[in-house]
């Protein structure tokens, strides 16, 4: 069942998304060589709790952390821990916030220090593919139009578009209908209507699109062990242009310091 949100509900998701976006800024402040991924997780949980909210991922289907932290060839659902960030790593930070009954979801892939030109381009293209998908997420479009835009752009660089994991509706539940694949055919799938809130989240691999799951039951890795990138926004469908409820502005502010 697809839930279309009222303006009151969207306002609560907007507030949830603001806390989440600021949390991403706080995490960005800490990302550098020598820092453990557990440190980032701890800071995120503290910041989210201090703002009267709850990390959506913690205890979700038994996931024990507030963040999914996915380094290099890990695509998504990586677990924070003792891993120490190195110069040249790429690290996807995925977080969710639950506030006043509503979830928001947002991910960003950071470069730690200097990364190769090849990997820097993967990050740039993956972020751009997200915005190309969002451009199609308007009243009257279909889910397939969003996926097509992402896939076409990413594949034009020879990248692998992960298919097993997809974006999703979001609201009272972290994952709602419909699924939002990062691939698709134009003109196919659900027709988008005003008030539908979606988490759009391309997961793009430098090499093969194929993935494997680690024995921990969570960590998803590229099959060829090449790096992967992941960017995500929570958006609400509107006429002509989606409203992007999460923002990377707080991350950009840190990066431009
Ligand atoms: Mg998501």
> 104 CA distance to ligand 1 centroid (A)?
8
Q: pLDDT averaged over the chain?
A: 98
Ligand 1 centroid distance, CA of 29 (Å):
22
Instruction: Quote the pLDDT of residue 257.
Output: 84
Cα dihedral 70, 167, 23, 134 sign: positive
Average pLDDT over residues 86-99: 98
pLDDT digits (tens, 9 = 90+) for 101-137: 999 999 999 999 999 999 999 999 999 999 999 999 9
85 C-alpha vs ligand 1 centroid, how far in Å? 24
Share of the chain above pLDDT 90, in %: 99
Question: Cα of 232 to ligand 1 centre, how many Å?
Answer: 7
pLDDT of residue 243: 98
CA distance 229 to 92: 7
Element (H, E) at 187: none
Which pLDDT belongs to residue 200?
98
User: 257 CA to middle of ligand 1, Å?
Assistant: 28
pLDDT digits (tens, 9 = 90+) for 16-60: 999 999 999 999 999 999 999 999 999 999 999 999 999 999 999
CA 138 to chain centre: 19
What's the confidence (pLDDT) of residue 130? 98
In the prediction, which pLDDT does 177 show? 98
116 CA to middle of ligand 1, Å? Answer: 27
159-195 per-position pLDDT tens digit: 999 999 999 999 999 999 999 999 999 999 999 999 9
Alpha carbon distance 75, 219 (integer Å): 8
Relative to beta strand 160-161, strand 203-205 is antiparallel
CATH fold group of domain 7-255 = Creatine Amidinohydrolase (3.90.230)
Three-state DSSP state, 198: strand
Q: Which helix (H) or strand (E) holds 201?
A: none
What is the reported pLDDT for 184? 98
Q: How far apart are CA 244 and CA 16, in angstroms?
A: 13
CA of 168 from ligand 1 middle (Å) equals 7
């Amino acid at each position: 069942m697809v839930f279309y949100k009222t303006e009151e509900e969207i306002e609560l998701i907007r507030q949830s998304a603001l806390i989440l976006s600021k949390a991403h800024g706080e995490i960005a402040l800490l990302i550098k060589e020598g820092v453990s991924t557990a440190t980032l997780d701890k800071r995120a949980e503290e910041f989210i709790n201090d703002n009267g909210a709850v990390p959506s991922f913690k205890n979700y289907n038994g996931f024990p952390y507030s963040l999914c932290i996915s380094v290099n060839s890990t695509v998504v659902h990586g677990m924070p821990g003792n891993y120490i960030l190195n110069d040249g790593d790429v690290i996807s930070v995925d977080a969710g916030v639950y506030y006043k009954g509503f979830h928001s979801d947002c991910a960003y892939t950071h470069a730690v220090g200097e990364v190769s030109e090849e990997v820097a381009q993967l990050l740039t293209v993956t972020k751009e593919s997200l915005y190309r998908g969002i451009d199609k997420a308007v009243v009257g479009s279909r889910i397939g139009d969003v996926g097509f835009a992402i896939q076409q752009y990413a594949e034009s660089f020879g990248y692998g578009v992960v298919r097993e994991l997809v974006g999703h509706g979001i609201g009272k539940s972290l994952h709602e209908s419909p699924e939002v694949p990062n691939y698709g055919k134009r003109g196919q799938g659900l027709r988008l209507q005003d008030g539908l809130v979606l988490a759009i989240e391309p997961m793009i691999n430098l090499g093969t699109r194929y993935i494997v799951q680690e024995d921990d039951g969570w960590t998803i890795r590229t099959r060829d062990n090449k790096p992967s990138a992941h960017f995500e926004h929570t958006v609400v469908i509107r006429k002509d242009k989606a409203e992007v409820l999460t923002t990377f502005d707080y991350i950009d502010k840190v990066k431009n310091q």
